[in-house]
Amino acid sequence: MALGVIDAAEKARLQHLINEGVQVLTDVQALKESLKETVDAVSEEMDIKKQVLNKAIRIAFKNTQNRDTLESTREELDEIEQVLISAGLQTV
């Protein structure tokens, strides 16, 4: 796909879009780093694995997007547990 010749208004629009996109991605990166630092601190203070906290955050986020996420995650974990029990790799 060739962009072709663009006029000054289109050029300005593209520049604005790219600048806004860079700013959004910069903000997202800063927020992710801040969240990571907070998770690290809480993990250490409360002696909870970072992985567990991050998983809880992801599930809570998904739950705000789709109310069935927590239930489907529970069902998936139940199925995994049943497979491990059937394989003799986990006891009830």
Residue pLDDT, tens place only, 7-59: 999 999 999 999 999 999 999 999 999 999 999 999 999 999 999 999 999 98
Residue at 28 is within a domain: yes
Give residue 18's pLDDT.
95
Global pTM value: 0.63
Q: Is residue 30 part of a domain?
A: yes
CB contact at 8 A, 63 and 69: yes
Any domain includes 90:
no
Domain that holds residue 45: 9-66
The answer to whether residue 73 is domain-embedded is no
Decide if 72 is inside a domain. Answer: no
Q: What domain count does the chain have? A: 1
Structure-token pair, residue 74: 């529970």
d(CA 32, CA 50): 14
Pairwise CA distance, residues 21 & 27, whole Å: 10
Q: Please calculate the CA angle 27-28-29 and round it to the nearest 5 degrees.
A: 90
> Would residue 86 count as lying in a domain?
no
Q: In this structure, is residue 82 part of a structural domain?
A: no
